[in-house]
Structure 1
């Protein structure tokens, strides 16, 4: 599930949103109200239940062969996502929707590399939301390894100490460090 040219996506478990209004998210580090969306590169970060803690890593132009081998491993592909076992049933059972939004009101957000797109004005979806479907199958079709771990922290520590690109979402909800 990726945006078409001229679009960004917003993923939600709520299929009834008619208008996205800028707001300050409860977990936000900034005080400005935004409408949040993602582009093609960051869409896979959101192929999960909303509250699911996840750690993700991918190969970049500066990734070393040693880090690729150690973290991505022999499973193939250039990207790996990890969740904890306690979230597997939710991943399999959630109904996730993708809202297609016009890209024009949005600007890239995040430094040094943008990780999202934000708008400061209300935005209406281009169409009704589209059910994303089977999230395991979506990962498989995209060639993304999906790892199910007892605890995310060992993987996360390895990723952030590597030359891979990475993102962690909802990590506050992960099991405590062992």
Structure 2
């Protein structure tokens, strides 16, 4: 599930959102309220249950790899996501090296959401290796040490902070 040309996507487990209103997310590192969306490069980083911690990595000549903890595999198989399509023109890149796109005003999707099921199969269909690990800490450290492009999402749910594992895990 990737955006078409001129579009960005927002993934949600809620199939009934008619209008997206900017808000400050609970995990936000900025004070501004936004509606968040992703482009084709970053959309696969959101083919997961919302709360699932994951490490997504890629690089020149390096195959794309996504990693989760094994306790999340059943949720990966059963969670239903919904992809909302938006006009990319309604969003602006966020940050110097944009990993997301934001709208500072309310926006409506281009149509009803598309249901996204079998997230494990979706990874396979797009040639993305999905690694299922007992723990993400060592993998995350290795990705950063190799200097790969990466996205670590919901890492706090795995007991991992911005600089690495928290002193006490779970």
Asked if TM exceeds 0.5, the reply is: yes
Q: Alpha-carbon deviations, 1:51-110, whole Å to 9, x = none?
A: 0000111013xx7xxxx5xxxxxxxxx100000011011111101110001111101112
Unpaired runs of 5+ residues, structure 2, are none
Q: TM-score if structure 1 supplies the norm length?
A: 0.87
Number of paired residues?
162
SS of 2:102's partner is strand
Deviation at 1:6, TM superposition (A): 1.3
C-alpha RMSD of the superposition = 1.3
Contact 1:55–1:168 (Cα < 8 Å) also in 2: yes
Deviation at 1:175, TM superposition (A): 4.8
Structure with greater contact order relative to length (CA < 8 Å, sep ≥ 6): 1
Deviation at 1:163, TM superposition (A): 2.3
**Aligned equivalent of 1:172, options 153, 156, 162:** 156
**Aligned equivalent of 2:127, options 143, 153, 157:** 143
Cα distance in 1 for partners of 2:55, 2:3 equals 22
Give the match for residue 86 of structure 1.
Answer: 71
Aligned pairs for 1:21-170 within 5 A = 21-60=21-60, 68=62, 78-111=63-96, 113-170=97-154
Contact 1:95–1:132 (Cα < 8 Å) also in 2: yes
Q: TM-score if structure 2 supplies the norm length?
A: 0.91
Report which of the two has the higher share of strand. 2
Cα distance in 2 for partners of 1:87, 1:156 equals 16
Give the match for residue 20 of structure 1.
Answer: 20
Cα distance in 1 for partners of 2:45, 2:12 equals 13
